[in-house]
Structure 1
Amino acid sequence: MGLSIGDFAKRVGVSHEAIRKGIKSGRVVLSSDGTIDEMTQVERWHATRDPSKVRGGRPMTASTPEASASAVAKFDQLKTAEKALQVQLLQEELRQVKAETVNRDEVRRSLTAFARLIRDKWVNFPNRYGQQIAAEVGCEPKSLMASLDRFVRLQLDEIANAKPTLPD
């Protein structure tokens, strides 16, 4: 036989209204006869309560099981971990606001655009400067430009096959 709502409330050190709210929210499960099983529900009550929302001034009863202490410790660890994560996120946001960090996607787009610009300049190099180089060297411009074009494209193909590594 289990405890009544009032007896269970005294057992865990809260008001009977808190137990009624616990039943309504599913924190406390009633037996088929309408009573509360002390063995399972006391531990469940302490494991699911938020110690940061417990009002001070009213001590817990002496019959509170030691399991509640481990539940409180577990909850405190989770709260601490959550706060630490929030601090890390806020620090990262602050670094971004202060411009100490850059967006990885923007860097990749900028590098791609810069690489295209360099490639385009080199592809046009033989046509743009071939005549001037041929005049300085004293050779036929058409053959020099064709040779320059072939070697520039070979070099650009080698570069295109090399993959740059970006830091994570």
Structure 2
Amino acid sequence: MGMSIRAYARYRGISDTAVHKAIKVGRIGTEADGSIDAQLADIEWAKNTVMANETPPIAHGLKRATTPPPTTPNAAPAATNNDRDTTTAPLSAGGTSLLQARTVNEVVKAQTNKVKLAQLKGELVDRSQSIARIYQLSRIERDAWLNWPARISAQMAVSLGVNAHLMHVTLETAVRDHLQELGEHKIELN
């Protein structure tokens, strides 16, 4: 039978919460009865704990670049190109880092909010409603032009001294030809 968790914590000079956490993450093991073998736990703790001055293992075989120790106690380490922290680099070729993904997400949110604000201000219109309105106005304009020869042909015939029916047919043919030319233009809404 080994030590209790609290006794082991006092033995190591740490909190019992730290011991609970070490057991939970598998840094140290316990006996079948839940007690701790102090000597075995010390060895496991040392083996499974990364100290602050040690280089932690990084996923996929990437290693953190380290600076060689100074030659004199007061000498500063020389800067090299290998001094960058590779933990923020993408783990696979072509991947994106968390920072890049967050940046893209924030840009999309900003653009979405800008569009919503423009809609609330009435600066944007619904595309389908706009197309329907243009179609409706075009039909009204076309119908007005098609009815125009019938309204004006008799008055023009009297003032010109020509046959009213001949004037009506001539004006109607000219208006239809003109509307046919206008109808050949296609409007592209992007």
TM-score range, shorter chain: 0.5 to 0.7
**Counterpart AA for 2:110:** V
Taking only the aligned residue pairs, the percentage that are identical comes to: 23
* Bigger Rg over Cα: 2
Q: CA deviation at 1:18?
A: 7.0
2:176 maps to: 153
Aligned pair in 2 of structure 1 residues 98, 124: CA closer, same or farther (>3 Å)? same
Aligned partner of 1:89 among 102, 109, 112? 112
The answer to whether the aligner puts 1:105 opposite 2:128 as a matched pair is yes
Partner of 2:16: none
Query: In the TM superposition, what whole-angstrom CA distance separates every residue of 1:89-116 from its partner, at most 9, and x where no partner exists?
Result: 0101100110112222222111111111
| Aligned counterparts of 1:69 and 1:133: Cα–Cα separation in 2 | 84
2:49 counterpart of 1:63: no
Which consecutive unaligned segments of at least 5 residues does structure 2 have?
A: 1-20, 27-51, 59-63, 65-85
CA distance in 1, matches of 2:108, 2:23: 37
- 5+ long unaligned stretches in structure 1: 1-13, 20-58
Count residues in correspondence: 115
Structure with more contact order per residue of length (Cα contacts < 8 Å, sep ≥ 6): 1
Q: Which residue of 2 aligns with 1:24?
A: none
**C-alpha deviation, 1:76, in angstroms:** 1.4
Provide Cα deviations, 1:52-110, integer angstroms capped at 9, x if missing partner: xxxxxxx8x74142453224980111011111101100101100110112222222111
> Secondary structure of 1:100's partner?
coil
- Cα RMSD, aligned residues only: 2.8
Per-residue deviation at 1:16?
A: 6.9
